[in-house]
Amino acid sequence: MRKQSNNILLLIKFLSLHYLLVLSAAQDFDFFYFVQQWPGSYCDTNQGCCYPGTGKPASDFGIHGLWPNRNDGSYPSNCDSSNPFDASKISDLMSQMKSEWPTLSCPSNDGLKFWGHEWDKHGTCSESVLDQHSYFSTALGLKTNINLLQALENAGIHPDGSEYSLTSIKDAIKEASGYTPWIQCNTDSSGNSQLYQVYLCVDSSGSSFVECPVFPHGSCGASIEFPSF
């Protein structure tokens, strides 16, 4: 009798440990922020920018990242150091990565550092859903589904250094994508508030845009600059 209850106890311990392990590997986020960046607003700040040896990136929005986030506004980060960025896993995506996800940091480099940072910090937190190749190919695919610059240009909003109302920018993106974006501003070296990054939300499988369950914090002026690049 005693032996049997010991065995049952052992089984319960084993099952709870197993459950905990499964839980810790399970997805710990509710949706993604898909973040695109206007390069002109990265480069005209006090920090400045550098281009890779391949030259100046296109005058277009570039990908910053695909970030797992929770409905309460918090987010997981650096989830799996045992699965570090491995460029050889995305060798077939390299030319698209260079044009759609360009690095701008100094000193000039080939972009592996930027992509590696994004995978290690954010990508590892959605690895139960998207492996390394799918993580990057999903982000590249999302970019082709919404052409932000075209959406803005269609509404008469051009990267010409003039000011546009924040509302007109949001409306133009909503009109084109069907979803309300969140706009992040930064300041140029003269202190003007400008259009820096556009956040759109994506469901937890990375397959379609959704309305954002929660927006990040921070604010732009009512009227913001759209610098040239």
User: So which residues are the catalytic ones?
Assistant: 64, 118, 122
CA 103 to the chain's CA centroid: 14
Instruction: Match 């939300």 to its residue by tokens.
Output: 201
Q: Do 204 and 129 form a contact (C-beta atoms < 8 A)?
A: yes
Which residue lies nearer to ligand AMP by CB, 155 or 214?
Answer: 214
Per-residue contact track with ligand AMP, 115 to 144, x per CB under 6 A? Answer: ---x--xx----------------------
Which residue lies nearer to ligand AMP by CB, 109 or 223?
Answer: 109
Contact flag: residue 174 with ligand AMP (CB under 6 A): no
Q: Any idea how long the chain is?
A: 229
Contact flag: residue 184 with ligand AMP (CB under 6 A): no
One residue of 32, 75, 114, 196 binding ligand AMP per CB under 6 A? 114
Which residue lies nearer to ligand AMP by CB, 164 or 196?
Answer: 196
Contact flag: residue 89 with ligand AMP (CB under 6 A): no
d(CA 68, CA 19): 23
Q: How far is the CB of 4 from ligand AMP (least distance, A)?
A: 54
Size of the site for ligand AMP (CB under 6 A): 11
Which residue lies nearer to ligand AMP by CB, 118 or 225?
Answer: 118
Contact flag: residue 42 with ligand AMP (CB under 6 A): yes
Residue 148 corresponds to which tokens in the numbers above?
A: 């932000």
d(CA 41, CA 170): 17
DSSP 8-state assignment for residue 30: S
d(CA 32, CA 144): 17
DSSP 8-state assignment for residue 111: S
Amino acid found at 58: A
One residue of 37, 184, 193, 194 binding ligand AMP per CB under 6 A? 37
Contact flag: residue 159 with ligand AMP (CB under 6 A): no
d(CA 174, CA 165): 14
Which residue lies nearer to ligand AMP by CB, 114 or 229?
Answer: 114
Q: How far is the CB of 17 from ligand AMP (least distance, A)?
A: 33
Q: Crossing angle of helices 132-145/112-121, nearest 10°?
A: 100
d(CA 89, CA 41): 31
* Contacts to ligand AMP by CB under 6 A: 37, 42, 64-65, 103-105, 114, 118, 121-122
